[in-house]
């Protein structure tokens, strides 16, 4: 797989795959849009490579019986570096004690 493609090229490829899967399943664009609970214009945009939301793409994959496409996106249970940093900072705040100078009288 070519990872050096531009975003537009990736959108075009994904659109081609959706169109090919829709045709192979025997659906018109209107039928698939209805099955996926998305607008016809959204499906048209995706098939033409002009983008749409990830939620729409997920709905299309499910409606085509191709949820296996989604399995290629491996989700791990690892903590993100940003989440780890936030946890560390929260721990430091709970341990810190306020140091006060001598009181003025």
Domain count, the chain: 1
* Whole-number Å distance between alpha carbons of 32 and 75: 28
Helix and strand numbers (H, E) in the chain are: 5, 0
Range of the domain at 23: 7-73
Which pLDDT score is estimated for 2? 62
Could you tell me the CATH number of the domain that includes residue 15? Answer: 1.10.260.40
Which pLDDT score is estimated for 42? 95
Position 40 in a domain: yes
Over the chain (105 residues), the average pLDDT of each successive run of 10 is 78 92 94 96 94 88 90 66 75 59 60
State the first-to-last Cα distance of the chain, in angstroms, to the nearest integer. 74
For residue 48, is it left (φ>0), alpha (ψ between -120 and 50) or beta?
Answer: alpha
32 CB burial (10 A radius; 0-12, 13-18, 19+): buried
Position 90 in a domain: no
Position 46 in a domain: yes
Which pLDDT score is estimated for 93? 63
Position 80 in a domain: no
Which pLDDT score is estimated for 18? 94
Position 57 in a domain: yes
């Amino acid at each position: 797989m070519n990872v050096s493609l531009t975003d537009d090229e990736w959108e075009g490829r994904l659109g081609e795959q959706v169109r090919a899967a829709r045709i192979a399943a025997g659906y018109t664009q209107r039928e698939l849009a209805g099955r996926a609970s998305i607008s016809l214009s959204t499906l048209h945009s995706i098939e033409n490579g002009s983008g749409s939301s990830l939620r729409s793409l997920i709905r299309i994959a499910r409606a085509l019986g191709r949820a296996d496409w989604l399995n290629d996106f491996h989700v791990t249970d690892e903590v993100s570096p940003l989440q780890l940093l936030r946890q560390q900072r929260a721990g430091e705040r709970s341990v810190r004690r306020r140091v006060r100078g001598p009181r003025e009288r």
